[in-house]
Amino acid sequence: MADSPLIEVHNVSKSFRLPTVRWETVREHALGLLRPRAFRTLEVLKDVSLEVQPGETVGIMGRNGSGKSTLLKLICGIYQVDRGAIAVRAPVMPVLELGIGWNPELDAVDNILVLATVMGMTLREAKASVDEVLAFAGLEQFANMEVRYFSSGMAARLAYSVAFKAVREVLILDEIFAVGDAGFKARCEERYRQLSKAGYTVLLVSHDVTTVSNFCSRAILLEGGHVIMNDAAQRVAAAYVEVASHVSEAGAFG
């Protein structure tokens, strides 16, 4: 009997209500109490279905606004579906919004301890991993610096380093190889290969066709909130380039 999928997304749709008029001043908010605010509905995902099997490395591609981030947040339970259903049958480690969870008043070491325990590690495991996490991020000399003084790139490297150490059965990554310098990217790629070889399941969002082709066995292409392709990673990467180029040409000449 075949294993059940670790992740099942069945006919899922998701939309958001957006105000048609933006209130920015106190006066506008006060006057707004006297009249109803108009909204429009933005449908981000439309009848999306997919499955992820144990041990798969699946890429998710699509232009900006195609619904990639919304799909990941639905799978992680950050958003609730409007229609359809999602089943996740394994612990998930999401790295979606870099910097969320940091306490700017604490230094790097204390933030590692906090974030690692939130991600499921025991305090003892977190303490034993501090040096390794700092080394992976290339931030050993900033161990005692408050995170509020970190650049966005430093904070991103630290977040990914903690996630790679505290990894659970399913790892969900958003543009992991777009962060940091060449040395950090090489370390991320090696750690990714280790996790894949060890049988972890990975969902990887990326615009980079080389990343998806080299690191994913299969990929999904989203366009306009729909899954328009679910195939081998190399074929999906090529289709993504085709879709993006056609849209660029239409924008240039339309």
- Give the residue extent of every domain in the chain: 7-91+169-253, 104-163
Q: What is the pLDDT of residue 33?
A: 60
Residue in this structure with the two tokens 């612990």, named with its chain if needed: 91
Which ranges in 15-86 belong to alpha helices (H)? 26-32, 68-75
Of 98 and 189, more confident: 189
pLDDT at 87: 96
Mean pLDDT of all residues in 22-43? 67
**Helix or strand or coil: residue 206?**
coil
The DSSP output letter for 21 is: S
Average per-residue pLDDT in the chain? 85
- Contacts of residue 33, defined as CB under 8 A and 6 or more positions apart, other chains included, come to none
**34-43, 103-112, 145-154, 156-165: which has the minimum mean pLDDT?**
34-43
pLDDT of residue 173: 82
How confident is the model over 197-240, as pLDDT tens digits? Answer: 898 999 988 888 998 998 899 999 999 999 999 999 999 999 99
Helix-helix angle 182-197:123-137, to 10 degrees: 130
Choose the weakest-confidence range: 24-38, 40-54, 130-144, 196-210.
24-38
Task: Give me the residue label for tokens 């605010």.
Answer: 37
What is the C-alpha separation between 177 and 204, in angstroms, rounded? 10
221 and 58 in contact (C-beta within 8 Å)?
no
Maximum CA extent, the chain: 64
**pLDDT above 90 as % of the chain:** 48
Domain 7-91+169-253, CATH homologous superfamily name and number: P-loop containing nucleotide triphosphate hydrolases (3.40.50.300)
Q: Which is nearest to 121 in space by CA: 88, 166, 82? A: 166
CA-closest candidate to residue 104, choices 52, 56, 145, 160: 145
Q: The tokens of 62 are what? A: 């699509």
Each residue's pLDDT tens digit, 87-142? 999 988 877 655 556 788 999 999 999 989 988 889 999 999 999 999 999 999 99
